[in-house]
Amino acid sequence: MSTDTPSPGPAREAAPRRRNRPEKKVEITDPKAIRALAHAARLEVISELYSTQSSRTATELAQQTGLTPSAMSYHLRALQKWGIVVPAEASADARERRWKAAGTDFAINSGGAVAGPDFAVIDLELDAFRRRARSYARARDEQRQHVESAEPASAVLLAHNLLYLTAEQRSELTQRVFDLLRHYELEDPNCIPPGAERIATMWSMIPDDRTPPGASGSHGGT
């Protein structure tokens, strides 16, 4: 522990206004709906629309996922069927339907079913994380090769902790993490602060049944 008194640093600019709007959680519990989500493009759409809280056209989402606009329209209609996305208000000169998230937050709850369809969704989410990591690594290497004085690389963080939590503590920790993440969400997703970089985050909690020798009691890991 250090007892040194830190010297006052430079004055900080006022933090951007963060999200302050009524919350509407969309929770999927129907196994059929969960199976319908087990598609990389659909999860990408959910992530984009719920994270940005902005509307997108099928063409815009198709460019992001590498699909054709017609294929993306099919996936959007499937997500609409389960109440995950809804048509958005069109601008005056809009020639294509816009889509938006049906709520502010999205969750999958299979009721703890063993080997439920949500495990397929988890696999796809992990694959998406790997794609982001590989894409970032390629972009960083290209920058180093073509720019002599490249800016410092952005931080990439992947951490793991083993905790022992009661059911009440698991619920409390989850809520606190979500509250913290919401603090950093922009109030207006279309007004991005100067210098801000788009960052993908992932939060997980899964029971760890690998009980060490001599240990007793239940335990969970994050």
pTM strictly above 0.75: no
The predicted pLDDT at position 89 comes to 86
| Residue 83 Ramachandran class (φ > 0 left, ψ -120 to 50 alpha, else beta) | left
Instruction: State the pLDDT at residue 98.
Output: 93
Residue 58 C-beta-side C-alpha neighbours within 13 Å: 19
DSSP assignment letter at 206: E
Q: Which helix (H) or strand (E) holds 139?
A: helix 118-146
Pairing of strands 25-28, 105-108: parallel
Contact 41, 124 (CB under 8 A): no
Could you read off the pLDDT tens digit of each residue along the chain, which spans 222 residues?
Answer: 333 334 444 444 444 445 555 678 898 888 888 888 888 889 889 988 988 888 999 999 999 888 999 999 999 999 999 999 999 987 766 678 999 999 988 888 766 554 455 566 677 677 777 777 777 777 777 777 776 555 555 667 777 788 899 989 988 998 898 888 878 877 777 788 888 887 878 778 888 777 666 655 544 444
